[in-house]
Amino acid sequence: MGTVNLADAIRNATPNIEGGFKHLPLGEHDVICCNAEFSHSKTNDNPMFKLTFVVEDGPLKGRKEYSYASITTENVDRSVGVLIMLGAEQSDIALAAGEEDDAAKARVCGAVIDSEAMLKVVKGTGVYQGEPNVGVWVNPRKGSTPRVPEATGKKPKSGGKSGEAPF
């Protein structure tokens, strides 16, 4: 098997001139988290984890969907709940977001990569870049047992309809 010359690949590419990223179709999709990284939002500098999911099976196998766990006082229960469901420890999330602890950031990212989930893509309101908005909800896979938060003395909240974790 020979190596691929990047210049040749670019010359032979079929450019996508119709636009960039397209969300997965509406519905439920079994996915695996294939990448996670810590960042800050561009608009308000809030700490967040950027999550990349890839469809595991079916005709959309290999398609990616992206989601952001922006950690603010308004959505801390929801974002932290999703990260815990994917395998992160609540104490590491607190250190990563609140104390800017690089080792904790790496532990959170490492814990969520390769985690199984079910993404539910739903119709949103409004339009973004000429396309109807969608909502992407990160949920446990059907038949799986989701992780629960460490003991905090607080009862976990339901993130959305039927116990879904909106994200």
Pairing of strands 64-70, 27-40: unpaired
Q: What share of the chain is helix, strand, coil (3-state, %, to 5)?
A: 25, 30, 45
Q: What is the pTM of this model?
A: 0.73
Number of Cβ atoms within 10 Å of the Cβ of 93: 25
Give 99's pLDDT tier (boundaries 50, 70, 90).
Answer: confident
- Is 90 exceeded by the pLDDT of residue 83? yes
**Average of per-residue pLDDT values in the chain:** 80
Residue ranges of domains in the chain = 21-163
The number of C-alpha atoms within 13 Å of 89 and in the hemisphere containing its C-beta is 10
Q: Each residue of 3-61: pLDDT tens digit? A: 556 766 666 655 545 556 678 899 999 999 999 999 998 888 899 999 999 999 999 99
Instruction: Judge whether 84 and 149 are in contact, CB under 8 Å.
Output: yes
pLDDT of 145 strictly over 60: yes
